[in-house]
Amino acid sequence: MNTFGNLFRLTTFGESHGAAIGGVIDGCPAGIALDLSFIQSELDRRRPGQSRLTTARKEGDRVEILSGVFEGVTTGTPIGFIVRNENQHSNDYDDLRDVFRPSHADYTYYKKYGLRDHRGGGRSSARETISRVVGGAIAKLCLRQLGIDVKAWTQQVGDITCDRDWTKLDLSLIEDNDVRCPAPDVARRMADLILQVKGEGDTIGGIIAGVVTGCPAGLGEPAFGKLHAQLGAAMLSINAVKGFEYGEGFDGVTQKGSEQNDRFVHDDSQRDPSAITTVSNHSGGIQGGISNGQPITFRVAFKPVATLLQPQQTTDLHGHPVTINPRGRHDPCVLPRAVPVVEAMAAMVVLDAYLSNKATHI
């Protein structure tokens, strides 16, 4: 329940206002050069307080590798790591000890466990995603040796959206703005909207798009381990995610089969006379639950953050009506900081599927 993956497995631990967030990675292949500066740079992309668009909580989020690495390379044994919490304001949550905040996990955690950590949401806090980013960064280092690349970006905030066709975007611009949108003009409008709702004490949601390039054909399982199902489960495990689609997704239902089918042709860019490609990629790189060698495209929908800095009506654990005026430091929009989390989950899924595929044939 706190472990993700089959062969490449990540187990996470820690709470938002505890001593640290951490994890154990099992099944990482031996001999992978562990670039600590790259892992830290991935954490820096998720780190709070990085711009006016994010929470003001100040955390260094410095990763400490505890095991599984010798002389800069992975040993094949479990990789343990922690990221210490440094800037908790637990007193901000004292008034919420016995209160169920609207659309949070307060009530459901209480009903499941009979108690809850009210400080910042405890285990339900998005701070848990720190461990996912570390696991994803290590997965990316493995995938890099295979020529597989994972990228995600903010495609939509509220009703402001950039081009859905990723081939028309310059993905090298993703990190050039605080929103992480590769369309600069659209990014400015998105930022203005986020700042507007922040000033109102409100929040806004949107969509993160992703693409996996260089993925070979044959990854995924034919029935219950379909590659898109694994990706969907990974994305839906991220805080605030409300939906997942791949390829044309829901938009494809308005088309006919003759418009949707991806026709196979010989790949003239390859010397191999049996090399096959497709003319289009409506399938999003996955057919029958298995990768077909085309770029894997997907989108992830995020709801508005549930914590509003304005009065809300709710109920306490005794059923009494309560008006809350939340304090604390919260994101008005999670998308800019969620981009590296989406990438991390996709990277771990693809690496796990690659390792599993190695066992299917000699």
Mean pLDDT of the chain, nearest integer: 92
In the predicted model, is pLDDT for residue 133 greater than 90? Answer: yes
pLDDT value, residue 57 = 65
Q: What is the pLDDT of residue 330?
A: 80
pLDDT reading at 118 higher than 80: no
The pLDDT value given to residue 245: 98
pLDDT of residue 40: 97
pLDDT at 87: 63
Q: Give the three-class secondary structure for 155.
A: strand
Q: Are 124 and 104 in contact (CB under 8 A)?
A: yes
| pLDDT at residue number 18 | 85
Please give the average per-residue pLDDT across 290-294, as a whole number. 96
Spatial distance between the Cα atoms of 162 and 338, rounded to a whole number of angstroms: 17
Q: What's the average model confidence in pLDDT over 315-338?
A: 88
Q: Which CATH number is 3-247+283-357 given?
A: 3.60.150.10
Which carries the bigger pLDDT value, residue 52 or residue 3?
3
pLDDT, mean of residues 127-139: 97
Name the band, by pLDDT with cuts 50, 70 and 90, for residue 224.
very high
The arithmetic mean of pLDDT across residues 12-18, rounded, is 89
Q: In terms of pLDDT, which residue wins out, 229 or 106? A: 229
Q: What pLDDT does 335 receive? A: 96
Q: How far apart are CA 227 and CA 236, in angstroms?
A: 14
| Strand ranges, E, within the chain | 3-4, 9-14, 20-26, 63-65, 69-70, 73-74, 79-84, 99-100, 149-157, 160-161, 206-213, 241-246, 264-266, 276-278, 286-287, 290-291, 296-302, 312-316, 321-324
Q: pLDDT digit string (tens) for 235-255?
A: 999 999 999 999 999 999 999
Rounded to whole angstroms, how far apart are CA atoms 212 and 121? 32
pLDDT digits (tens, 9 = 90+) for 16-67: 888 899 999 999 999 999 999 999 999 999 988 778 887 766 778 999 999 9
Contact criterion met (CB below 8 Å) for 134 and 170: no
What ranges do the domains of the chain cover? 3-247+283-357, 249-279
Between 334 and 271, residue with greater pLDDT: 334
- Amino acid, single-letter form, for residue 14: G
Q: What percent of the chain has pLDDT over 70?
A: 96
Is the pLDDT at 274 greater than 90? The verdict is no
Task: pLDDT band for 71, please (50, 70, 90 cuts).
Answer: very high
Report how far apart, in Å, the C-alpha atoms of 214 and of each of 149, 211, 228 are. 6, 10, 16
Q: Where are the alpha helices (DSSP H) in 36-105?
A: 36-46
Instruction: Answer yes or no: is pLDDT of 220 > 60.
Output: yes
Confidence at 326, pLDDT banded by 50, 70, 90: confident
Decide: 137 and 83 in contact? Cβ < 8 Å.
no
